[in-house]
Amino acid sequence: MSTILSWGSRIAALFLAIGLGAVLVGSRRFARRVQTDVESLLATSAAPPQGLITEDMLHGLPEPVRRYLRYSGVVGRPFVGIVRLTQVGRIQPNVGQPWFPLRAEEHYSVRPPGFVWDGALRFGPFALVRARDMYREGAGSMLIKAIGLFPIADAVGPEMDQGSMMRYLSEMIFFPTAFLGDNVSFEPVDDRSARVTLTDRGRTVSAVMFVDEIGKLTDLVAERYRTVNGGFALERWSTPVDEYGELAGLRLPVRGGAVWKLADGDVEYIDVTVTELEYDVGR
């Protein structure tokens, strides 16, 4: 999203030029496209495994992972197949630039893994930038439009595939029963961390999960592609958890962010709070 802020003044001028009616038309058009993407994602989502999660299913996992899953409360709960959540927060699309209010809705499929994220960046009272991030059928993409009409970015390719798949892995913390899927594996690191690997369509991504003494997941650190000057660079990436709460009957992160761990210092670029979370709605 590094190009968004350079468009800020242009977007404001564009809004003044075309008027509120065009903004509303663009927003509805963008929303229809997102809805089509969500329907396509959920149409291929398989039902979750039957039965409840048992303590025996945690056997053989690294101790920090067992501690985390017990703390989350998944034992005795059913597996999850689809997820919907909403977020509010702020985003800084470029280093050293202002933060902007953000509202977003996201849908996930667990089998196969995928998501569609619909975010609105606000300039004053209006959502003048709309962004759709997606991972589906092994491919990632990011679409950003000003006023829902004018393209700012439309990114696809192998780096987006890796980045979007990594994002999905990091956000499994909102539906932790997915960590018990047959496409997920673990390696012990020490008594406070373990490496988790997600496999999908012949590709893998891995990250290190950090878990405190009571079982709270405090951070997830990995290598992820970052957009830089129209290209991509593989950088260290972190998603620290700032606050836990109860959602859908589980103990889950409710507030956190994402940070690029760069050679010249850390760059935090998003800070969000989950306001709603639902599992398997409509099944």
pLDDT confidence of residue 18: 52
For 141-168, what is each residue's pLDDT tens digit?
A: 999 988 767 778 899 999 999 999 999 9
Cα separation, 276 vs 141, in Å, equals 25
Give CA 204 to chain center in angstroms.
17
Tokens representing residue 139 in the block: 């491919």
Tokens representing residue 202 in the block: 């012949």
Cα separation, 17 vs 24, in Å, equals 14
pLDDT confidence of residue 93: 77
pTM for this one?
0.91
Number of residues written out for the chain: 283
For 207-262, what is each residue's pLDDT tens digit?
A: 999 999 999 999 999 999 998 887 899 999 999 999 999 999 999 999 999 999 99
The alpha carbons of the chain give a radius of gyration, in whole angstroms, of: 19
Cα separation, 117 vs 138, in Å, equals 16
Q: Out of 2.60.40, 3.40.50, 2.50.20, 1.10.3470, which CATH number does the structure's domain 5-279 have?
A: 2.50.20
Would you write out the chain's pLDDT as a tens digit for each of its 283 residues? Answer: 444 444 455 545 545 455 555 666 667 889 999 999 999 999 999 999 999 999 999 999 999 999 999 999 999 999 999 999 999 999 987 777 788 899 999 999 999 999 999 999 877 666 778 999 999 999 999 999 887 677 788 999 999 999 999 999 999 999 999 999 999 999 999 999 999 999 999 999 999 999 999 999 999 999 999 988 878 999 999 999 999 999 999 999 999 999 999 999 999 999 999 999 999 965 5
Q: Which residues, at least 6 apart from 202, have a Cβ–Cβ distance to it below 8 Å?
A: none
Cα separation, 166 vs 163, in Å, equals 5
Q: Which residues, at least 6 apart from 204, have a Cβ–Cβ distance to it below 8 Å?
A: 197, 198
Which of the 8 DSSP states describes residue 137?
Answer: T
The neighbour count for residue 259, using CB atoms within 10 Å, is 18
Contact 109, 115 (CB under 8 A): yes
Q: So where are the chain's domains?
A: 5-279
pLDDT confidence of residue 22: 62
DSSP of 156-192, one letter per residue?
Answer: ESHHHHHHHHHHHHHHGGGSGGGGGSTTEEEEEEETT
pLDDT confidence of residue 15: 52
